[in-house]
Structure 1
Amino acid sequence: MEFFTKQEKDTVMQFTDISPRVRQHLCQVYATLCIGCLCAATACMWTPSCVTKLIVEEILFSCLCVGLILALAFVMLKKGGNNDQFVKSACFFAISFISGIGLRPLVDRAAEVDPIIVTNALVYTGSLFGTFTFFSLTTERRKMLFIGGFIGSIWLGISTTYLISWIFEISLVDYLQYNILILACLSLFVIYNTQLIVEKASMGDYDYTIHATELFIVLLRIFIKIVVILIILSMVAKANSDKKKKEKDGDSSDEDAQ
């Protein structure tokens, strides 16, 4: 028995309730987002080790990078509306490039723990972002916008709980659990943000660079959280393996002594 008829499948793929103009806008948003991701990946791959060392060891350099990102974001927001897309696109690509430079220390750390972590993180990030984006676009307009407040409340609760655990050194939420819960919130935020962009475009807001920037921030956070989670899991697995190996070696030594 077929669960979907051909007509139903075609309706889903056409993204019900999304007008042709909004679909065109979404194509511009995701094309800009892809270019931004390429800029970040290029910066992360080709950043010299001396720059990476500055990011890790020099707080002033890190603050300078953050300040530059904020300045570029201010320029983008100042040029509101659907005009000056070239300037705003240049600012977005610069933000993406600087963000990629900032990712390099984390990527290097992941490669030290296990070289496969970065590849797995890229696959997981793309799969997760693509799945939740598709779900959001194929869901009826405005149907999932209510989760914005829900996500904010959960995020605040998780962050507060983790902060209390860290300050008072009590076991409420550990670092791994915290990152997993935040990753779940970010996944839901993909749905919310995508539907919000569709709704803004339906009301005449076609500022695709700003919308691409919003999605890029979420996508970058998802990638970071996945990398951190994989690093923790890999380190735990390695520690358990070393522990078992030591116990096995200890048992072998006892048998030899006897």
Structure 2
Amino acid sequence: MDAFYSTSSSSSGPYGATAYGGSGWGYDSLKNFRQITPAVQTHLKLVYLTLCVALASSAVGAYLHVVWNIGGMLTTLGCVGSIAWLFSVPVYEERKRYGLLMAAALLEGASVGPLIKLAVEFDPSILVTAFVGTAIAFACFSCAAVVAKRREYLYLGGLLSSGLSILLWLQFAASIFGHSTSSFMFEVYFGLLIFLGYMVYDTQEIIERAHHGDMDYIKHALTLFTDFVAVLVRILVIMLKNASDKSEDKKRKKRS
């Protein structure tokens, strides 16, 4: 455990100060992957490629809901079941696990379908903007985690876990006592902040696990897929709420 959390010796090496130090940060640091071995780089390429395919599968699921209205409790349970099944399948059964990941992504897209359908009916540009914004945020936070010193952001794990616990308790309390619009939006913004943090933390954890021999790219892609969808849903909710408020204000001005 001490070795896991100890400071990487490369940070104090001949290129540590240049690549990661305050005044030496620049374009060269973005190209500096010397702390990441070629094997880990190949693993990350597989992870992100699998993530892209999972997102495409999720988009198909959302489209199926828009067309046939299939999303709901059954697809949510199916998604959870597919993920549980994936974790129970041995790592060497790669094709089966890959298929289960795609099935889980498709069912997740169908489960989020009602929100996406609402956005399409209200203003399709909101969906496009939310997706592009999520993709940019994901790329930026992932790059920050890759470029940063090894283990630099792993300390966030405890804070993020605590924040996630608070979020779950808030949702549990709201399900019992109900909540106002302001409390709901607080949960949305708070959840957005937490999952943006998880983008950084999970990326560095994946890199560290890969350095220690864990090359399960399917499981790692699932982790990042969960973060991506969680951020996308919350950005979509925020944008829909803001657009709805603006629409209401316009109607009030016209009436007055």
Any conservation in 2 of the 1:165–1:173 contact (CA below 8 Å)? no
Corresponding residue number in structure 2 for 1:79: 89
The answer on 1:180 being equivalent to 2:182 is: no
Report whether the alignment pairs 1:198 with 2:207: yes
Q: 1:55 to 1:87 in 2, by over 3 A?
A: closer
Does the alignment pair 1:42 with 2:93?
no
In the alignment, is the contact (CA less than 8 A) between 2:33 and 2:147 conserved in 1?
Answer: yes
- Going from structure 1 to structure 2, the CA distance change for 1:75 and 1:137 (only over 3 Å counts) comes to same
2:30 aligns with: 12
Residue of structure 1 in register with 2:249 after alignment: 240
Q: TM-score, normalised by structure 1?
A: 0.82
Superposition deviation, residue 14 in structure 1: 3.0
Which range moved further: 153-162 or 189-198?
153-162
Give the ranges of 4+ consecutive aligned residues of structure 1 lying more than 4 Å apart after TM superposition: 161-173
Q: State the distance in 2 between where 1:27 and 1:114 align.
A: 34
Q: Distance in 2 between matches of 1:171 and 1:109?
A: 21
The residue identity in structure 2 corresponding to 1:24 is T
Distance change in 2, residues 1:92/1:148 (3 Å): same
Between the two structures, name the one with larger relative contact order (CA 8 Å, sep ≥ 6). 1
Query: In structure 2, what is the Cα distance between the partners aligned to 1:200 and 1:207?
Result: 9
Aligned to 1:251: none
Q: What CA distance in whole angstroms lies between the structure 2 residues aligned with 1:198 and 1:243?
A: 52
TM-score normalized with structure 2 length: 0.82
- CA pair 234-11 structure 1, distance change in 2 beyond 3 A: closer
CA distance in 2 between counterparts of 1:158 and 1:111 reads: 28
SS in 2 for 1:55: coil
Kindly indicate whether residue 96 of structure 2 is the aligned counterpart of residue 69 of structure 1.
no
Aligned residues of 1:183 and 1:225 also touching (Cα < 8 A): yes
SS at match of 2:153: coil
Q: 1:110 is aligned with what amino acid?
A: A
How far apart are residue 175 of structure 1 and its match?
1.6
For 2:56, the aligned partner's letter is L
Q: How does 1:206-245 map to 2 (within 5 A)?
A: 206-245=215-254
Letter in 2 for 1:72: S
Q: Which residue number corresponds to residue 104 of structure 1?
A: 113
What displacement does 1:78 show?
1.9
AA partner of residue 71 (structure 2): I
Secondary structure of the residue aligned to 2:194 is helix
Deviations 1:37-89 (A, max 9, x none): 11111232244643x1x535xxxxx23x23332332233212344x2222111
Tell me whether 1:55 sits opposite 2:71 in the alignment.
yes
2:4 corresponds to: none
For 1:162 and 1:74, the matched residues in 2 are separated by: 23
Identity of aligned residues (%): 24
